[in-house]
Structure 1
Amino acid sequence: MSDRAPQQVERRLPTDEARDLLALVREIAQREIAPGAAEEEAAGHFPREVFTLLSGAGLLALPYESAFGGGDQPYEVYLQVLEELAAVRLTVGLGVSVHTLSCHALAHFGTPEQRSAHLPAMLGGGLLGAYCLSEPSSGSDAAALRTRAVRDGDGWVLTGTKAWITHGGIADFYTVLARTGAEGPKGITAFLVPGDAAGLSAAAPEKKMGMKGSPTAQLHFDGVRVPDARRIGEEGQGFTIALAALDSGRLGIAACAVGVAQAALDQAVAYATGRRQFGRPIADFQGLRFLLADMATRIEAGRALYLEAARLRDAGRPFAKQAAMAKLFCSDAAMQVTIDAVQVLGGYGYTADFPVERLMREAKVLQIVEGTNQIQRMVIARQVVGPESR
């Protein structure tokens, strides 16, 4: 069986250009990514050549301004591209989302001079980025980070450790949040750090249950010197910059989750219509039909939720609550859909010969990254009920 049965999803795209773009993405995904996805994931191979190809095709720059090498595409379109890529291989879809996240600070808070100097290469020059917020002792409590940046002449010296960094050790640049002032969120500043900076090193990649082709590693900053020209935004503005990026990044995770879920449903439908028991396809049995119907409903609901949040973002309206809802719902849906897909395939679903077990393992991380789903519930509750009383 192929890694993924053909997806039958009706897309509502705003322009002919967007429709052509998505057709190009599907062609690249099926020709360049799908054939070796299962084998490369099992071997832990990171497909850097795919990201180079995507960069050359302008697919690492879609939601940014064309003046700096971007694609001028709305988030509504960009997220559907992520969904298509993640459905074929989550390492690629999530990698594009992380790269986009790593460019956000400079694109939205950098000076015109900074954007002109760095963004063209970051967006279309074959470079790959990473985002450095989490630390060994600060995950959900991101404002408690300890990596410190100390002024030294006309620059800064960074010391500390970042953890759970996607593309850690292989990225060409890192957006790094470091403490420059007092404890708490107001003492944090953002920096753009080259991947080959002296004093920057990566630990061995983490051994994970899924997404084995995507390196996740700690980064050690041992007196890394960064000129003040690579400070993004004002001193103490870093936490605000980080949260703004995460609102958009959560939509990327939601889109990737829907892609994984759609891939699992496609596989389950293909198997159920081809597998015969008691003289007929198992898809004829009501128990399975209802299970597949519930899977499809979760996917459609998730897709509608992330697209509505994207439209709010594109219109310049507040979308933080909807982004948290989309990340929460879509990743929970992906987990349930992939579990159900394994059940549809029965014993075959539990083997590595079929892709649904890999999709199930990959879905789990989407409930954790970009803020756990428990954090998303806190964000949503604050928007609905108001802040907690102290």
Structure 2
Amino acid sequence: MSTNGYYGNYGGTFIPEILYPAFQEINREFEKIQNDTAFWNEYCDILANFSGRPTPLTYADRLTEHFGRAKIYIKREDLNHSGAHKLNNALGQGLLAKRMNKTRVIAETGAGQHGVATAIVAAKLGLRATIYMGREDMERQYANVFWMKRFGAEVVPVEYGSRTLKDAINEALRDWVSSFETTHYLLGTASGAHPFPAMVAYFQSIIGIEAKEQILRLEGRLPNSVYACVGGGSNALGVFQGFLSDAEVELVGVEAGGKGPDSGQHAARIAYGTGKAGVAQGYKTLFLQDEDGQMRDTYSIAAGLDYTGVSPILADLAEQGRVRFEAATDDEVTQALQLVMRKEGMIPALESTHAFAAAFKDVGSTSPSDVILINMSGRGDKDIFNIAEGLKDDEWTAFIERKQKQYEQSR
């Protein structure tokens, strides 16, 4: 990585002049903490005693038996406090914000897990929080909106554009332009202007550090392949960093295939080869864009993968051939979800289930001596409405209709 934050052809800092002081401050403090053992120890301490790390690496014995091929291990980021990997980064940046004497944090969120994590960190560290969320995502993930508000955060709906994650990021940036002296933008994914990709990857690297130590202890060897879903890229980079230097370990990023490559309703920038290099939201990467360079609307059953861009670090790793990219469709995801639930008693988030779906497609070409590792980046409690709709569950529909009637009668 060069000093200006480029990863091969991607990255950089494309920001309005008014934000340069904010980025200079963040760059300066981020450089300091990377060489500060006391800061890392404080970070690890709060992860252990507040978030509950290390998360386990679970041997999926029944899935392994079901396929009769490679041994399958699952990295359990769903067992973090708040239910996802997002708290790793939120806690790290929260500590950084306190170090910079900020009194407020702002954030964007899609699936809502980063919003919940930010609200939790603000409550824990005594900060004010404002969270921007597209109206479409708020409707899909209202349970998370409810919890953000209960933690004391202000949740601001974004009503323009596709009303999803990219629009929430734009609105958060507008806020930051006028508030950066007292406010830290707690960006949730490994995208955006430098140093955010590096910083989010740094705080999420704890996943890969743990996973490598755990698989070596449990199996005495490295896995053949590591799978992770990819929206912006934070959980994937988190787990991949544990194995980047091990050339024999295949790294597989799984994007949202939505309704398929020819549908126009997906968020697969790399796997479908439809992403084009461009500059937006402060950085250069592969975006889904039209012939005029305008960002296309994206679609996924999983709100957290419904983003038009991808981490510049992952775009570069894909270009190098170090990370293989695949896509999983909504149908493949719902099928994989049911299999994981019935075989392992786990509820992976719809985002995470994309990684399972791709691994299940590949497992047929493995042998019993192989080992694969799947990063379960979050749990699916938040997705109950989407899952029930995706499974076309008539009993769930009847339940919702009964509750609606009860509500109307009580007014």
Do these two structures clear the TM 0.5 threshold for a shared fold by scoring above it?
no
Instruction: Flag the structure with more relative contact order, 1 or 2, with Cα contacts below 8 A and sequence separation at least 6.
Output: 2
Output the TM-score relative to the length of structure 1: 0.28
More helix by share: 1
